[in-house]
Amino acid sequence: MTQRTVFFVSDHSGVTAETLGHSLIAQFDALEFRKITVPFVSTVDKAKRAAEKINAAARTQGSPPIVFSTLVKEDVRDTVREIVGRTDALFLDFFDSFLGPLEKELGHTSQHAMGVSHGIQNYREYDRRIEAMNFALSHDDGSNPQGYDRADLVLIGVSRSGKTPTCLYLALQYGVFAANYPLTGSDLEERRVPSTLSPHRDKIYGLTIEPRRLGELRSARGIGRRYASPRQVSFEIRQAQSLFERLDIPFIDATRCSIEELASRILDATHLERRTTS
């Protein structure tokens, strides 16, 4: 498999460059990418050091790197572009590509400020995300069900079906107050929702997963052979889906979904508001 080196260069944390760059290179699954993030390139001197790092990788690997840039300051961006151009690197600058057309359309000059997209611009939204994270952690795996009155969403499913990471992502990214509750053996055998969840039926959303993948996840925990056995995981998943269908609980198969996609699909299906934009 052919490998190419990809750099994400930013004058701040690099989150924007990584997010946009990953979404593009993910379309090329026949290639293998070596990914390197170079954050906080905020001065010309730092730009020179970043560019030399990129060029060194080009010499080592023998092929031009691909550079995704979200550098805002023109002198910094131009320095990197000029130096890495000596290796025929593909320099893709997101801000340079889109800010110009936006300025023309809006009739305003952009502020060209570093770190705007992921800095704390709205303290109310930031506090909401922190509060939602604390809620998800304190209501994880069936903890504190008495606090579900405050929940926007309660995810249910068998153990290791992806409930906890999905709740944490919903909290951190969108400020959603998400709790999760594991379906126990008695719940599955009787195909019923635990009595503690009955008052919150309108908030419940189910997660399921393919047996083989669930077995892999459980085996990695090393808890016990029965816990990860094909027979046990197949039984639990079959019973969970039967419960969801019988009680008309909406659910999604998490097997091939990233956490980001799971969260987005759940928000879309439940019509929950994305409470943060940063």
Say what the pTM is. Answer: 0.73
Upper half-sphere CA count for residue 253 (Cβ side, 13 Å): 10
- Letter for the amino acid at 38? V
Q: Which residues contact 144 (CB under 8 A, 6 or more apart)?
A: 138
For the stretch 155-172, pLDDT in tens is 999 999 999 999 999 999
pLDDT per residue over 121-135, tens digit each? 567 888 888 999 999
Q: What is the pLDDT of residues 59-111, one digit of tens each?
A: 888 889 999 999 988 899 999 999 998 888 999 998 878 878 888 889 888 76
Per-residue confidence at 224, pLDDT binned at 50, 70, 90? Answer: confident
Cα angle value 180/164/271 (rounded, 5°): 60
- Mean pLDDT for the chain overall: 90
Q: Are 252 and 209 in contact (CB under 8 A)?
A: no
pLDDT cut 90: percent of the chain above it: 70
Nearest CA among 176, 125, 130 for reference residue 153: 176
Nearest Cα to Cα of residue 151 among 105, 197, 182 = 197
How much is the pLDDT for 117?
56
pLDDT tens-digit readout, 166-208: 999 999 989 999 999 999 999 998 888 989 999 999 999 999 9
Split at pLDDT 50, 70, 90, the class of 275 is confident
Give residue 115's pLDDT: 57
User: Percentage of residues in the chain with pLDDT exceeding 70?
Assistant: 94
**Amino acid 126: pLDDT:** 81
